Amino acid sequence: MHTNSLYQEVILDHNRKPRNYGKLDHANHHAVGHNPLCGDRLDITLQLDNDQINNIAFQGESCAICKASASMMTTAVKGKSRADAETLIHEFRELATGKLDISQPHHLGRLTVFSGIRDLPTRVKCAILPWHTLHAALNSIASASTESTESAPPMADNA
């Protein structure tokens, strides 16, 4: 296994060619994320129709890890339901903080290249910020910060 070189290759690739980079003109959900520890700032716009993410884009000023994580996140959740996206958000957080047992079934696919991030405590927040911001956008919270509390905002009730 060459997890480390694969990780570096993926980070480089997504920084050279970030996927879904920009801002959607017709977004109905939006959130801004900020990681004061590193200075990462992300702006995520998405189009949610019938609880499905039909389109998503991100832009901002961030380090390579944050940018690669954001780029991979957009490709992973595009076309997915809100519930599936929330599952990925949860699993990615667990992965980045070393709580996820990747030998057990999960939905992260190639995102597991970030599994080594748990050994770099100062970069964990860089990797998590896009997911944190996506969560905020899905729940229509104007801004997210990795400094905020861990408590999840109230979920929209479709009943």
Min CB(148)–Zn ion separation in Å: 17
Min CB(103)–Zn ion separation in Å: 28
Q: Which is nearer to Zn ion, 96 or 126 (CB)?
A: 126
Dihedral sign, Cα of residue 11, residue 124, residue 91, residue 114: positive
- Token pair of 82 as six digits: 């809100």
Tell me the C-alpha distance between 88 and 94, whole Å.
Answer: 10
Using alpha carbons, select from 55, 138, 68, 136 the residue that is nearest to residue 96: 68
Tell me the C-alpha distance between 123 and 36, whole Å.
Answer: 12
Min CB(126)–Zn ion separation in Å: 3
Q: Which is nearer to Zn ion, 40 or 91 (CB)?
A: 40
Min CB(74)–Zn ion separation in Å: 17
Tell me the C-alpha distance between 144 and 5, whole Å.
Answer: 31
Phi, then psi, of 33 in degrees rounded to 5: -115, 145
Q: Which is nearer to Zn ion, 19 or 60 (CB)?
A: 60
Q: Which is nearer to Zn ion, 68 or 126 (CB)?
A: 126
Site of tokens 């189009």: 47
Q: List residues binding Zn ion (CB under 5 A).
A: 38, 40, 63, 66, 126
